Amino acid sequence: MNRKKFISCLGALLFLFIAATGAGAQQRSSSWVRGAWEGVGYQTDDQTTWAITLTARGRSYSIDYPSLNCGGRWKLVSINESRARFREVLNRGQDKCADHGHIVLQRLNRKQILFLYSYDDAKDISASAVLSRKRHS
């Protein structure tokens, strides 16, 4: 094999190695959010509280606000070892809850995460909660 072809093959192998290890790192960095979570949200603008249930399986994030009768899914924007950003898309109860909000989850420890919500057109946090990992029943 000539030198040029060898360098080309080596470059391709290096790219595949980096891609494979990067995927593994992404998978490890997102594992902290997997599972079922629940808590009570606090709405700053009207000072109300409401229940939250989050279920994260693989790349699927479903959200339910049972006391508000609305829910849907979250689209992952970014994630690392301690913080995840999402875009909320409601598929029921859009007349009861604001749709297309921005969500930030911050890992506090293995059993708790901080939930921060801001409206689609705002930068200020309008709701927050501490969610606890549900125990397996």
Domains located in the chain, CATH noted: 29-133 (2.40.128.20)
Residue pLDDT, tens place only, 38-58? 999 999 999 999 999 999 998
Contact 64, 57 (CB under 8 A): no
Size of the chain in residues: 137
Residue pLDDT, tens place only, 72-97? 999 999 999 999 999 999 999 999 99
Q: Please count the CA atoms within 13 angstroms of the CA of 96 that sit on its side-chain side.
A: 14
pTM over 0.75: yes
